[in-house]
Amino acid sequence: MMAQPQPPRPTPAELEILRSLWKHGPSTVREVQERLDALRPTGHTTVLLLRATSLDKGLVKRNESERAHVYTATAPEEATQKQLVRDLVDRAFGGSASRRTRGRRRVTRTLGWTV
């Protein structure tokens, strides 16, 4: 059985957009920008660009039925968190398959996740 391809890893800025979508649900670019701006100044065009790359990477999907397009995260928050943790463990223990496996087991057990 072939492993399913992993979705692209979000950049830190893309992850901020995903966090907003996970917390508040489907949102327009303006809504996401206002939420991010409350945390730190973020220009509308910056969010537009990040949204475009997130859409191209398959991290978000767009509903075009309204005048203002509404965006939704494509993967659940926990699935993305697991992917990021797996990636970190793989990079931390990259030289050895057995060390990588042990590292993943320790992290998933600590976080209470199933693999």
Domain boundaries, the chain: 12-73, 77-111
Q: What is the radius of gyration, based on Cα positions, of the chain? A: 17
Which class is domain 12-73?
A: mainly alpha
Q: What is the mean pLDDT of residues 15-30?
A: 94
Q: What percent of the chain has pLDDT over 90?
A: 41
d(CA 54, CA 11): 9
3-state secondary structure of 21: helix
Query: What residues form DSSP beta bridges with 70?
Result: 63
Q: What percent of the chain has pLDDT over 70?
A: 90
Evaluate if residue 2 carries a pLDDT over 80: no
Q: Name the band, by pLDDT with cuts 50, 70 and 90, for residue 91.
A: confident
